[in-house]
């Protein structure tokens, strides 16, 4: 029996527009693998950061943490999924749009088709009526380490309005210098994606998008490479802990008696601690929570790998899920 079959009762048997209270929480470590700028490169804008408590104790000091906004994370994963839908001709055209010729469903434009997996899972609001709430719930993610530990700065040649390093009039290279902040390689962010009321096929699509996305950050020539590592999956009838709580709990254990944890830390070290804190945190939740055994998480990831290695199987999955939406 596959893992998807094993947990069949927690998936919706078919798409439904009504809330059923069936939540999946995917616990992720996002590990930065190359200098990442979560701002427009060359803009000189600082990285987003927030003052928060270091750990969970009441007398804990306040530190600054780097924040990756929830919008940035899902935008990347949506794009990954949309590539697959486009390849399989499963992005549609809103028949009511006025543009001539009409353009197919696209992110950040006012023409959602309201029929594709992306619209139906991640949500849309159409100008001419029709809307779907996102069934993928995300939150801002906080860096494990304090901002001062994981931020570096470097100089850049300022860009001209044309986005190039050459003066559009004289053709001379730019000589003005600015400073960009970046997140250092091996910085780690703890992040929970909550998925609500999905079918098995929709779940496999969302999980595939997370596992196959590798480039996050500002859209520019140097987008940071990010590795998403899944450390746990929980099934529940309510939302679980926040990203910040989870980050603070892991931070407490990782620093031990020291002022702050070493940097960089081995991904495996963080993985073990992050998984360990999940058990404790999920015991505090008022609701029914099942943490998948680690062996099941690993088996599920192996299933995902073989699924996405089989182009025909992916096409069938996407077609079946898409045709299950009303009106398709």
Positions in the binding site for Zn ion (CB under 5 A): 105, 113, 116, 119
Work out how close the CB of 200 gets to Zn ion at its nearest, in angstroms, rounded to a whole number.
Answer: 21
Of 167, 141, 136, 180, the closest CA to residue 37 belongs to: 180
How far from chain centre, in Å, is Cα 320? Answer: 25
Radius of gyration over every alpha carbon of the chain, rounded to an integer in angstroms: 21
Work out how close the CB of 312 gets to Zn ion at its nearest, in angstroms, rounded to a whole number.
Answer: 23
Work out how close the CB of 84 gets to Zn ion at its nearest, in angstroms, rounded to a whole number.
Answer: 13
Phi first, then psi: give them for residue 36, nearest 5 degrees: -115, 130
Work out how close the CB of 213 gets to Zn ion at its nearest, in angstroms, rounded to a whole number.
Answer: 19
Work out how close the CB of 119 gets to Zn ion at its nearest, in angstroms, rounded to a whole number.
Answer: 3
What are the C-alpha distances in Å from 43 to residues 21, 75, 86, 159, 162? Answer: 43, 21, 32, 8, 13
Between 276 and 328, name the residue whose CB sits nearer to Zn ion. Answer: 328
Between 26 and 119, name the residue whose CB sits nearer to Zn ion. Answer: 119
Between 160 and 325, name the residue whose CB sits nearer to Zn ion. Answer: 325
Q: What is the DSSP letter of 92?
A: -
237-243-249-253 Cα dihedral, nearest 10 degrees: 120
Between 81 and 224, name the residue whose CB sits nearer to Zn ion. Answer: 81
Between 43 and 88, name the residue whose CB sits nearer to Zn ion. Answer: 88
Between 104 and 185, name the residue whose CB sits nearer to Zn ion. Answer: 104
Work out how close the CB of 327 gets to Zn ion at its nearest, in angstroms, rounded to a whole number.
Answer: 12
For residues 286 and 109, what is the distance between their CA atoms, to the nearest angstrom?
A: 40
Alpha carbon distance, N-terminus to C-terminus of the chain? 31
For residues 136 and 158, what is the distance between their CA atoms, to the nearest angstrom?
A: 37
């Amino acid at each position: 029996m596959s893992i998807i079959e094993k947990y069949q009762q927690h998936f919706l048997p078919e798409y439904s527009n009504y809330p059923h209270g069936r939540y999946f929480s995917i616990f992720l470590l996002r590990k930065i693998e190359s200098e990442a700028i979560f701002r427009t490169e060359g803009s000189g804008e600082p990285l987003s950061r927030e003052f928060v408590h270091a750990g969970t104790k009441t007398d804990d000091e306040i530190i600054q943490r780097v924040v990756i906004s929830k919008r940035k994370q899902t935008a990347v994963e949506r794009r990954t999924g949309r590539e697959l839908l486009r390849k399989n001709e499963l992005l549609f055209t809103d028949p009511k749009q006025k543009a001539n010729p009409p353009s197919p469903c696209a992110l950040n434009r006012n023409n959602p088709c309201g029929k594709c997996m992306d619209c139906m899972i991640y949500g849309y609001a159409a100008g001419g009526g029709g809307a779907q709430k996102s069934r993928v719930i995300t939150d801002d993610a906080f860096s494990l380490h304090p901002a001062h530990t994981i931020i570096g700065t470097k100089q850049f040649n300022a860009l001209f309005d044309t986005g190039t390093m050459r003066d559009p009039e004289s053709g001379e290279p730019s000589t003005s210098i600015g400073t960009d902040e970046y997140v250092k390689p091996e910085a780690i962010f703890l992040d929970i994606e909550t998925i609500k009321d999905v079918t098995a096929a929709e779940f496999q699509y969302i999980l595939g998008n997370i596992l196959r996305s590798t480039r996050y950050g500002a859209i520019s020539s140097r987008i940071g490479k990010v590795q998403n590592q899944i450390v746990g999956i929980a099934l529940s009838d309510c939302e679980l802990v926040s990203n910040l709580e989870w980050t603070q709990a892991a931070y407490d254990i990782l620093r031990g008696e020291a002022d702050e944890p070493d940097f960089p830390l081995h991904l495996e070290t963080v993985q073990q601690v992050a998984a360990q804190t999940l058990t404790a945190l999920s015991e505090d939740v008022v609701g029914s929570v099942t943490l998948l055994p680690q062996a099941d998480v690993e088996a599920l990831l192996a299933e995902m790998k073989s699924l996405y290695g089989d182009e025909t199987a992916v096409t069938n999955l996407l077609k079946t899920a898409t045709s299950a939406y009303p009106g398709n």
